[in-house]
């Protein structure tokens, strides 16, 4: 089944403790992206990747890192999480940046 | 930042009725897409309409695009309780996709 797999689904962590949210797709998509969703603000793009080893900042990149060493994986790294990063995070992939995205099921992160 | 703005923010209808949601945007676009999100879950791509198209259908969904008014509408006919979800429009311009804040649709059985 074609899908984007995110892990974990839920995560509660403490301020400053580094964490990684994994994202993997099995569709051989070149384009991958991370979003955060907050009430009233819709989806905001954090980082995106056009292909392996090619990443770029979205609208809200501060406090986040990404890497794209393999085509299928696009992990999101929070080096020192803060409470304002409490949010619902989504990974998405597509064959092309301008076309229909396939989304993961989301990671609900709480930073206390 | 958001490009599309959905209207209304929330819509409540009875099963069997039609639901219409609107999306307005500010700049020229290459295409516009509609997505559905069930509570807390990932968005699901519904339909894509290109800037040179005026109307598209997919099952019970009908999407229109009026580039002169910079607006699009999503019509769901003969709604079902399972259609209860949030619906988002996403505009694509210069290979950049922007999502609106969504319309929350509730279909009562």
B1: pLDDT strictly greater than 70: no
A38-69 confidence digits (pLDDT tens) = 988 889 999 999 999 999 999 999 999 999 99
pLDDT of residue A42: 85
Stretch A7-20: mean pLDDT: 97
Coil/strand/helix, residue A46: strand
- Give the model's confidence band at B2: pLDDT under 50 very low, under 70 low, under 90 confident, else very high: low
User: For residues A69 and A73, what is the distance between their CA atoms, to the nearest angstrom?
Assistant: 7
Contact present, B85 and B71 (Cβ < 8 Å): no
Question: Of A40-44, B2-6, B24-28, which gets the smallest average pLDDT?
Answer: B2-6
pLDDT of residue B47: 96
B3: pLDDT strictly greater than 80: no
Contact present, A91 and A3 (Cβ < 8 Å): no
> Could you tell me which residues come within 8 angstroms of residue A58 by beta carbon, excluding any fewer than 6 positions away?
A33, A34, A35, A44, A45, A46, A47, A48
User: Which residue of B33, B43, B97 is in closest CB contact with A97?
Assistant: B97
* % of chain B surpassing 90 pLDDT: 81
Stretch A65-88: mean pLDDT: 97
Stretch A77-89: mean pLDDT: 98
Interface size A-B, in CB pairs within 8 Å, comes to: 47
Contact call for B48 and A100, based on CB within 8 A: yes
B47-63 confidence digits (pLDDT tens) = 999 999 999 999 999 99
B96: pLDDT strictly greater than 90: no
The average confidence (pLDDT) of chain A is 95
User: For residues B29 and B67, what is the distance between their CA atoms, to the nearest angstrom?
Assistant: 8
- In a mutational test of the A interface, the residue from B1, B37, B41, B42 whose CB has the highest number of chain A CBs within 10 Å is B42
B32-49 confidence digits (pLDDT tens) = 999 999 988 899 999 999
- Distances A46 to A9, A27, A62, A78, B58 between C-alpha atoms, Å: 18, 22, 8, 12, 31
Longest dimension (CA), chain A: 37
Helix (H) or strand (E) holding A28: none
């Amino acid at each position: 089944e074609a899908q984007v797999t995110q892990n974990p689904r839920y995560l509660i962590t403490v301020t400053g403790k580094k964490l990684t949210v994994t994202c993997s797709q099995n569709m051989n998509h070149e384009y991958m992206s991370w979003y955060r969703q907050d009430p009233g603000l819709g989806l905001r793009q954090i980082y995106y990747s056009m292909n392996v080893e090619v990443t770029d900042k979205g609208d809200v990149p501060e406090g986040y890192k990404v890497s794209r060493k393999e085509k299928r994986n696009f992990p999101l790294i929070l080096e020192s999480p803060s409470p304002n990063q409490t949010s619902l995070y989504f990974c998405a992939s597509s064959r092309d940046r301008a076309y229909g995205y396939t989304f993961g099921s989301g990671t609900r992160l709480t930073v206390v | 930042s958001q490009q599309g703005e959905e209207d209304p923010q929330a819509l409540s209808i009875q099963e069997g009725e039609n639901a219409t949601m609107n999306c307005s945007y500010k700049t020229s676009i290459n295409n516009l897409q509609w997505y559905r999100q069930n509570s807390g879950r990932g968005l699901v791509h519904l339909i894509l309409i290109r800037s040179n198209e005026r109307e598209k259908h997919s099952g019970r969904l009908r999407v229109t695009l009026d580039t002169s008014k910079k607006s699009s509408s999503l019509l769901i006919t003969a709604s079902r309780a399972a259609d209860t979800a949030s619906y988002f429009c996403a505009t694509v311009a210069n290979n950049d996709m922007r999502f609106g804040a969504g319309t929350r649709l509730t279909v009562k059985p």
